Chains A and B, each alone.
Chain A
Amino acid sequence: MKSNIVGLIFTGDRIEDLRDLIRNRSVAALPMLGRYRLIDFLLSNMIHSGMHNIGIIMQSNYHSLMDHIGSGREWDLHGKRSGVTILPPYVSNTGGGVYDGMLDALHSNLSFLRRSSERYILVTDSYMLYRVQYDEVCARHIDTKADITLLYTKDRNVRRNGWGRYLNIDPDGIVQSMEFDPTIPHYPNTYMSAFLMRRELLIDLVDRAVAAGMHHFARELLVQLLHERMYKIAGYECPGEIWSIDSVLAYYQTNMDFLNTKVRTHVFAADRPIWTKLRDEMPARYTSTARVVNSLVADGCVIEGTVENSILFRSVAVKPGAVVRNSILMQDALINRNAEVDSCILDKQTTVREGTRIVAPRDFPIVIGKNLTI
């Protein structure tokens, strides 16, 4: 069916608490749950909501994200009447280049907004992992005759890092105000940095806000709109669990949460698969010395050692006598004989030498950078 929502994913924000994990990639490109990247969940939400015109605003370090998205084929976004548009930063005679905030980015990409024909636009930041039907958000938006609908959650998972934006919502579901990074939040509703409105209203708002010297969508424009009370701004509560990947610890805990079968069953609902770039690996191989419990293991792994409470991405090798506990091993990691890894996040293509022990406290996982041998 024809969709009336265009999607726009903002991948610009750098979240410094993610440290080495985002040294060479954007937050949206963070490898997640054994075979995905964070953006896969947003893209899948959109295609399962019937959306097939999607723009991705890129800012810095976007090589890995470009490589991942490719032609958009894995998400069925490579057609003539559908597609994914990569929107890298560029310099024009009116500015451009590096964006100061989402508002800047929207302004630089107004031509994409104008060129689209859908009546509504859904804009989302890319550091949260959640499942939602944007078509239902839109239906509610129309029902409630809102001008702007903000997505929020009451899930306390997202508060792990101690920063956030909280919405004060009245009993009618109308957003009254918003607070930023409070020491103690006054409201249980975390704004998810995602909103829906008429496309033409957004174009108008962005034009006016940039003319008034604003850069940030939430902290400047939204705050002003809430204050002016000219528009009806509604909240939409996203059901289910939501994760905010805003620090190394949050990244670690989010992945670990998926060792819980209930969580996986919800997020990986059989009728709404999460699509991702393929590697065409063979199934994982277990040998006679393998011992694997409470772990997620992707295709292409070869396991000859012990793996407990861990997440293994594609083509990880664990040699005999090696022990992996409470860890996240990204693709092509190699754990040699009698090595031990506990509470670590190993980035892609890392090698742990024979007999090496790396043991971190569980509330302070160590990140081993890409391509390192230790």
Chain B
Amino acid sequence: MIRKKSCVAMLLAGGQGSRLGILTRNVAKPAVPFGGKYRIIDFPLSNCVNSGIDVVGVLTQYRPLELNAYIGSGAPWDLDLNSGGVYVLPPYHTGKTGEWYRGTANAIYQNLEFAKQYNPDYVLILSGDHIYKMDYSEMIDHHIQHKAAATIAVRQVPWEEASRFGIMNTDEDFNITEFEEKPANPKSNNASMGVYVFSFDKLYKYLEADEQDEASSNDFGNDVIPAMLSAGERMTAFTFKGYWKDVGTIESLWDANMDLLKQPPPMDLHDRKWRIYARNIGMPPHYAAKGAQVLDSLVTEGCQIEGAVTHSVLSANVTVEAGAQVIDSVIMPFARIGKGAVIRRAIIAEHAVIGANAVVGEEEGDIAVVGSNASLEAGTRVTAGQQVGE
């Protein structure tokens, strides 16, 4: 007998994340490493448990193996529970039908039975490509107080950027009056964060209807939210004021890593009351050798540093050999930077090996990327914006 849960979270983790280029060639976007010892999915998962939500369905589709292995039993997030926990939900065959997820709404629709097992009052819908610390329980309280059918988390973006987002126009009581996807002339700067709370009965009703509508693209932003608005449902906006970053592109992923190096950082990962949990790989403390020089950087356990590291994020088990320089860069787990190599404004993915005296990235221009398991020969040059794979 499965116990009733007031709120069940469903995390959309199936997108390919093609804008991350070579970084998501072999893994789903939520499994991409971030901030030295985390992966992107650690943020929504940790937010859930810190908010008191202990049932999380993770909807996977694209290259799920690494993500599945990472989530495992859910123990790193205290989500290995008898009454709840984290569940990986791939698309499945029902006998009559069976298909890939067609859109965000369709993915949730195909897993309504999962949520229904817990007879929830509310369903929290999250995506796996944002870095933020958010107390979802405040948003659910807001939803309850406003007796809403759906609540959409928004944050205020600079007006000049508003036309890049889905914009919620609201009245003074936070009721959403209109939703505009990337409006040329925005009337508000409340941008949707892709975090939704639905009353379960309403979600059920509108997803059923959306499924019947053959013209629908089965997307929350494009189809379900507009349909609920035009049906006159009460929709409210919940304003989130903290740090939030979409890390869906190479540039923004790099930016968000660099944000962690600011003093003081815009998002505090030291906060003991709101820890971000991650799976641990059991490495000794990092070692800064006699000739090492490390400034303005984050360095994770297992690293071995003999060279110079400036304003960079080093993930677990990275080796920086003598004479190598790492500047303004993100080095993912187990990468090795050879003697005399220079890494500048670059992302070096997991297990990549940079040969001696190679030069990756430039002082100006786009971020250079070396993909996972790639091996650069000694002296190779990778220019700004270039992506080099296996």
Contacts and interface: CB of A to CB of B under 8 A. Distances in A.
Interface of A: 33-36, 73, 258-259, 261, 264, 268, 273-276, 278, 280-288, 290-300, 302, 311-313
A236 B75 CA distance: 38
B182 to A, nearest CB: 35
A296 B284 contact: yes
A209 B266 CA distance: 66
A373 B287 CA distance: 28
B27 interface: no
Contact of B294 (A268, A281, A286): A286
B167 to A, nearest CB: 34
A282 B284 contact: no
B298 A282 contact: yes
- Interface SS of chain A: helix, strand, loop or mixed? loop
A36 B290 CA distance: 23
B301 A299 contact: yes
- Interface SS of chain B: helix, strand, loop or mixed? loop
A33 B281 CA distance: 17
A294 B289 contact: yes
B263 interface: yes
B287 A274 contact: no
B145 to A, nearest CB: 33
Nearest to A272: B282
B288 interface: yes
Interface residues of B, number: 37
Contact of B300 (A33, A73, A283, A291): A283
Contacts of A286: 294-299
Given A35-B301, A284-B286, A296-B285, 18 more contacts: A36-B284, A258-B284, A259-B287, A261-B304, A264-B287, A273-B281, A274-B284, A276-B282, A282-B298, A284-B300, A285-B297, A286-B294, A286-B296, A287-B263, A297-B286, A297-B288, A299-B285, A311-B285
A63 to B, nearest CB: 22
A298 B298 contact: no
Contact of A283 (B36, B280, B291): B36
Q: Which of B270, B280, B286, B296 gathers the greatest number of chain A CB atoms within 10 Å?
A: B286
B269 interface: yes
Nearest to B314: A283
B296 A288 contact: yes
11 contacts: A35-B301, A268-B284, A273-B283, A276-B282, A280-B277, A282-B269, A295-B287, A296-B287, A297-B288, A299-B285, A302-B270
Contacts of B294: 286, 290, 292
A259 B285 CA distance: 11
A275 B282 contact: yes
Contacts of A290: 294-295
Contact of B298 (A268, A273, A276, A285): A285
Interface string B298-340: 1111001000000001110000000000000000000000000
A35 B298 contact: no
B292 interface: yes
B275 to A, nearest CB: 5
Q: Which of A33, A283, A290, A313 gathers the greatest number of chain B CB atoms within 10 Å?
A: A283
